[in-house]
Chains A and B, each alone.
Chain A
Amino acid sequence: MADKLFLELVSPEKLLVSSDVDNVFAAGAGGAFGLYPDHSPFCTALVPCVLTYAIGQETYKVIVSKGFLEVADNKVNVLAEKAVFVKDIDKAKYQSAFDALSSELNAEISEDERLEKEADLKFYELALNN
Chain B
Amino acid sequence: MASARDIKRKINSVSNTQKITKTMKMVSAAKMRKAIEAMQSARPYSVKLAELIQELSNRAGGNAEHAFFEAREEVKTIYLVVVTSDKGLCGAFNSNILKVAQTFVKENTGKTIKVVPVGKRALDFFAKRGFEIVEKWVGFGGKYTFSDAINVGKLLAKSFTNGDADEVHLIYNEFKSTSSQIVRSKKLLPLAVEGGSEPNYPDFEYEPDVAELLNTLLPQFINTSIFQSMLESVAGEHGARMVAMDNATRSAGEMIKKLVLNYNKTRQAAITTELLDIVNGAEALK
Interface residue ranges, A against B (CB under 8 Å)? 8, 10-15, 28-30, 40-45, 66, 68, 70, 72-73, 77, 79, 81-82
B131 to chain A, nearest CB (A): 28
Interface membership of B205, Cβ < 8 A = yes
Tell me whether B207 and A45 are in contact (CB under 8 A). yes
Known: A12-B46, A68-B52. 16 other contacts (CB 8 A): A10-B44, A11-B45, A11-B146, A12-B45, A12-B223, A13-B145, A28-B207, A30-B208, A41-B204, A43-B204, A43-B205, A44-B206, A44-B208, A72-B201, A79-B48, A82-B146
Interface membership of B227, Cβ < 8 A = yes
| A/B interface sample: 22 pairs, CB < 8 A | A8-B48, A10-B44, A11-B45, A12-B45, A12-B224, A13-B42, A13-B145, A15-B41, A29-B208, A41-B205, A42-B204, A43-B56, A43-B206, A43-B213, A45-B208, A66-B216, A68-B52, A68-B217, A79-B45, A79-B52, A81-B220, A82-B146
- By a CB distance below 8 angstroms, the chain B residues around A15 are 41, 44-45
- In the complex, which residues 2-59 of chain B have their Cβ closer than 8 Å to any Cβ of chain A? 38, 41-42, 44-46, 48-49, 52, 55-56
Tell me whether B207 and A12 are in contact (CB under 8 A). no
The total of chain B residues at the interface (CB under 8 A) is 30
Interface membership of B200, Cβ < 8 A = yes
Complex CA distance for A10 and B47, rounded to whole angstroms = 10
Tell me whether A43 and B146 are in contact (CB under 8 A). no
Interface membership of B203, Cβ < 8 A = yes
A117 to chain B, nearest CB (A): 12
Interface residue ranges, B against A (CB under 8 Å)? 38, 41-42, 44-46, 48-49, 52, 55-56, 145-146, 149, 200-201, 203-208, 212-213, 216-217, 220, 223-224, 227
Tell me whether B48 and A77 are in contact (CB under 8 A). yes
Which one of A11, A29, A43, A45 has the greatest number of beta carbons of chain B within 10 Å? A43
B138 to chain A, nearest CB (A): 21
Complex CA distance for A96 and B220, rounded to whole angstroms = 26
- From the candidates B52, B146, B149, B208, name the one contacting A70 in the complex (CB within 8 A): B52
Which one of A11, A14, A15, A79 has the greatest number of beta carbons of chain B within 10 Å? A79
B42 to chain A, nearest CB (A): 5
Complex CA distance for A73 and B212, rounded to whole angstroms = 24
A28 to chain B, nearest CB (A): 6
- From the candidates B146, B203, B206, name the one contacting A12 in the complex (CB within 8 A): B146
Given A14-B41, A29-B208, are A41 and B201 also a contact pair (CB < 8 Å)? yes
B45 to chain A, nearest CB (A): 4
- By a CB distance below 8 angstroms, the chain A residues around B207 are 28-30, 42-45
Q: A67 — nearest CB in chain B belongs to which residue?
A: B220
Complex CA distance for A28 and B213, rounded to whole angstroms = 12
- By a CB distance below 8 angstroms, the chain A residues around B45 are 10-12, 15, 79
Complex CA distance for A45 and B214, rounded to whole angstroms = 10
Q: A66 — nearest CB in chain B belongs to which residue?
A: B216
Complex CA distance for A77 and B46, rounded to whole angstroms = 12
Tell me whether A40 and B44 are in contact (CB under 8 A). no
- By a CB distance below 8 angstroms, the chain A residues around B206 are 42-44
Tell me whether B204 and A72 are in contact (CB under 8 A). yes
Complex CA distance for A14 and B231, rounded to whole angstroms = 13
Q: A39 — nearest CB in chain B belongs to which residue?
A: B205
- By a CB distance below 8 angstroms, the chain B residues around A43 are 52, 56, 204-207, 213
Q: B204 — nearest CB in chain A belongs to which residue?
A: A41
- By a CB distance below 8 angstroms, the chain A residues around B227 are 12
Complex CA distance for A8 and B227, rounded to whole angstroms = 21
